[in-house]
Amino acid sequence: MKKTFLITVVIAVVLAIVFSPIASQSPYSRLHNATWGYRGPYDQVLNYTIASVKGSIWQTKSTELVFPPRGQRNWRNITAINVFDQYYPAGEGGYATLKAGGPRFNHTTIKLKSQRGKGYNFVIEIYGR
Ligand SMILES: *[C@@H]1O[C@H](CO)[C@@H](O)[C@H](O)[C@H]1NC(C)=O
Ligand SMILES: *[C@@H]1O[C@H](CO)[C@@H](O)[C@H](O)[C@H]1NC(C)=O
Ligand SMILES: *[C@@H]1O[C@H](CO)[C@@H](O)[C@H](O)[C@H]1NC(C)=O
Ligand SMILES: *[C@@H]1O[C@H](CO)[C@@H](O)[C@H](O)[C@H]1NC(C)=O
């Protein structure tokens, strides 16, 4: 009787140790946010874009955001770019990568790519001065 109780306690403790990192991990930690550069206190928003697409079976979807938009000019230097992944369930959204320009440049190209069969939903903030 005593021995079974002890074994049960030991098993419970082992399970708690093994599973606690998984249980305590917030789903938000699985979002694919990205950030490049640093935003200073006087930096202003140069561009704010929401980019989202729905998933389609078997397909990956991608797009390239170009700032400034074609035909426009931007004389300010980019200091920071923040990308927030807003696709749920967390972890199933796409990934953002910096293809050109970005901090210290006056232009940038950001690629957004979904996982196969999934969509993406990003908020992109570009700061500069
Ligand atoms: C991503 O950004 C969201 C919104 O600010 C935040 O709640 C979440 O914790 C972030 N996750 C990661 C992994 O950075
Ligand atoms: C922000 O950049 C996107 C991508 O080039 C463009 O479509 C949009 O018009 C821009 N918005 C502003 C406010 O400049
Ligand atoms: C970036 O700045 C340079 C001058 O420093 C200018 O010639 C160029 O047109 C600018 N690029 C854009 C995309 O506005
Ligand atoms: C952008 O950065 C360049 C090089 O650091 C600098 O010469 C220029 O004055 C900056 N432009 C602005 C608008 O701050």
Alpha carbons 120 and 89: distance in angstroms, whole number: 11
86-125 per-residue burial string, b: 16 or more CB within 10 A, e: under 16: bbeeeebbbbbebeebbbeeeebebebebbeebbbbbebb
Structure tokens at 123: 């908020």
pLDDT band at 26 (very low <50, low <70, confident <90, very high): confident
The total of structural domains in the chain comes to 1
Domain that holds residue 104: 26-128
Instruction: Let me know if residue 14 belongs to a domain.
Output: no
Instruction: Let me know if residue 89 belongs to a domain.
Output: yes
* Nearest atom, ligand 2, residue 46 CA: 14
Ligand 1 — pocket residues by CB below 6 A? Answer: 28-29, 31, 33, 84
Mean pLDDT of 9-23: 60
Sequence-ordered list of residues with C-beta below 8 angstroms from that of 35, at least 6 positions apart, any chain: 80, 81, 82, 83
Mean pLDDT of 8-29: 67
Residue 13: the pLDDT is 59
Mean pLDDT of 82-109: 98
